[in-house]
Amino acid sequence: MAAKPEPFTLAVPEAAIEDLRERLARTRLPDQVPIPPGGDPWAYGTPTAYLGELLRHWREGFDWRAQEALLNAFPQYKVPLHGIDLHYLHVPGKGPDPMPLLLMHGWPGSVFEFIDIIPRLTDPAAFGGDPADAFTVIAPSLPGYGLSFAPGQKRFAIADIADCLAALMTEVLGYRRFAAQGGDFGAFTASCLGATHAETLIGIHINLLAMRRDLGLLRDDDPAERRYREALDLWLKEETGYQWIQGTRPQTLAAALTDSPAGLAAWIAEKFHAWTDNDGRIESAVPRDRMLADIALYWFTGCIGASFWPYYARLHGPWPIPDGKTVDVPTGYAQFPREILHPPRSFAARTYTDIRRWTEMEKGGHFAAMEQPEALAAEVQAFFRPLREG
């Protein structure tokens, strides 16, 4: 018998909020690496001046209760599943036949990414769309992340996350078949579901491709793959330091970031700067308070160490899509201009055998649901529209 979900409301104790403010007040900031004239202050990581400003706002201007209320406006639940208490939003669609959609975040994201996109997906008519495009959205906190974390619980690799969420959709919620969408590890999980739980998938839509980062797999005689090889080579050299420490010594880093809100903010804000489609200021792409809500959820739940585990599992175990397997379910891909990498379609087609929609988006980056909720929602609706007829 499937476990019974229980309604959940997020309510961080006031004492935890006050403790955070006190820790922020005692922050000891590092000195700033000297920046040469015309140099990029972010080239060495989060600049001290920006971090000091962000921390002052977090302590003095940020309203956690307001962000908490935004999340609590959606129906939330917890259910015992695969050895943890899994948290998820379950928002009914408003339309003649809403399609169940598993909506998944990644690292360093959370369900706060979906505040603005969920209403567009569940009630398209409210935004001038067709109610026939409505989805019922199921948006979990990935196992080990945010409200799906408790100290001492087991860790989850991507394949384990996929198995857990497949059980949520089919065994707990009773959906025989469902759609899936995600970015970052949410895209990896959707892809893994497409490879290992294909019978339950209507299709997947992703805004990051789960491609092996093996330069030897790319063809020299294909100009697009050659350009991608060059971009990938540079990215592996300059941008993957966080992956190596999170994937080799996660416990060491977790000690620092679990104890220091300043360190946690610096670690996560740097990714928002590097991966969003901004004009040099994170806030031109993502509202500051929404980014801080995401960071604060990591802080209040103490989940940062567990959130590293998919990196460790990937470096020390098999690739999430098993060797010899391909993703054969209908696939849609939205390529945002400031996404981390842009694999060419020829390379992607060796893993995803049924790509039915490939769209180059005009604006946006890695946190697409937060940066461009209207554009991403429209893409998801367009991709799944013909699949509703099957």
| Active centre residues (catalytic) | 184, 311, 366
- Concatenate the DSSP letters of all residues of 292-329 into one string: HHHHHHHHHHT-HHHHTHHHHHHHHS--SS-TT--B-S
Instruction: Kindly report the number of other CB atoms within 10 A of residue 176's CB atom.
Output: 9
Nearest in space to 147 (alpha carbons), one of 302, 339, 20? 302
In the 8-state DSSP scheme, what is residue 6? E
Tell me the C-alpha distance between 262 and 265, whole Å: 5
- Concatenate the DSSP letters of all residues of 216-237 into one string: GGS-TT-HHHHHHHHHHHHHHH
Residues in a beta bridge with 331: 204, 355
Nearest in space to 118 (alpha carbons), one of 370, 295, 357, 334? 370
280 CB-near residues (< 8 Å, 6+ apart): none
Residues in a beta bridge with 103: 181
| Cis amide leading into 108 (omega within 30) | yes
Q: Which conformational region is residue 324 in: left (phi greater than 0), alpha (psi within -120 to 50 degrees), or beta?
A: left
Backbone phi, psi, residue 385, to 5°: -55, -50
Query: Is the CB of residue 136 less than 8 Å from the CB of residue 92?
Result: yes
